[in-house]
Amino acid sequence: MKVWDLSTRLYHWTQAALFIVLVITGTTEEGPHVELGIALTVLVLWRILWGFWGSETSRFKQFLPSPSNTIRYLLGKTKAGVGHNPAGAWMVLTMLVALLAQCVSGFALAGYFDYLPYAEIWLTDDVFDVLEAIHVYGVTLLQVLVGLHIFAIIVYKLRKKPLVWAMVTGVQSDMESSAPPMMVSQWRALLLLAIAAVVPLVIISL
């Protein structure tokens, strides 16, 4: 059964590649770190928009479970449905929030917020220090989250659930459902990507 559309899969692998290169360029202080950060910002904003207007398995309202359902899933009392399982859904949300915080703080450190309206009022030294701390320590948090994500993938692989291959092909072969998830047009994804690029470009142009 097809559970992941092309846009979700492209986002996943592009985000992974950008994150690796950003960690390397940020650590070595060499390479187009700022430019790659802008690209990641557009990507994250695109995923957020896709979480509201994308295919069914990519929408937040469809895959974010309640804490009680997540606990029951982790205890083996309930089974996962189509798409993200409850634990994976919360991981997606956590990583999106962490990535967005990293992007916002990165824009501040790169100086792109300096010329925004009333920046002299709200972008104080204390606020800048907080954003700098978020950017520095956020890298460690994201690396921990990625490590947990990889660990979970290995566990599911050992349990004969190929999550990685499903994110490559878009198909999960172990799903038993008479109602395949709704997939929306990828032209909508392209439109949302263009909209996602507007905010960073406007900030940079200022």
**What are the pLDDT digits (tens) for 164-200?**
888 999 888 766 555 788 999 999 999 999 999 999 9
Non-local (6+) Cβ contacts of 202 within 8 A are: none
Asked if the structure places residue 126 within a domain, the reply is yes
Q: How many domains does the chain have?
A: 1
Asked if pLDDT for residue 53 goes beyond 70, the answer is: yes
3-state secondary structure of 111: coil
Residue 164 within any structural domain of the chain = yes
Q: What confidence score (pLDDT) does residue 179 get?
A: 76
Domain hosting residue 150, numbered range: 6-176+185-205
Mean pLDDT of 125-142: 96
pLDDT for res 9? 95
Where do we find the tokens 């929030």? 97
pTM assigned to the model? 0.91
Higher pLDDT, residue 145 or 176: 145
The yes-or-no verdict on residue 161 having pLDDT over 80 is: no
Segment 112-137 mean pLDDT = 94
pLDDT band (50, 70, 90) for residue 71: confident
Residue 1 lies in a domain: no
Crossing angle for the helix pair 6-28 and 33-53, to the nearest 10 degrees: 150
For the segment 70-74, the average pLDDT, to the nearest whole number, is: 83
Instruction: Look at residue 60 and tell me if it is in a domain.
Output: yes
| End-to-end C-alpha distance for the chain, whole angstroms | 46
**What pLDDT does residue 146 have?**
95
The enclosing domain of 82 has a CATH number of 1.20.950.20
Provide, rounded to the nearest whole percent, the portion of the chain with pLDDT above 90: 68
Neighbours of 83 (CB within 10 A): 21
Q: Can you give the pLDDT at residue 20?
A: 96
Q: 144 pLDDT exceeds 60?
A: yes
Structure-model confidence comparison of residues 94 and 175, the more confident one = 94
Q: Is 53 inside any structural domain?
A: yes
How far is 120 from 102, CA to CA, in rounded Å?
22
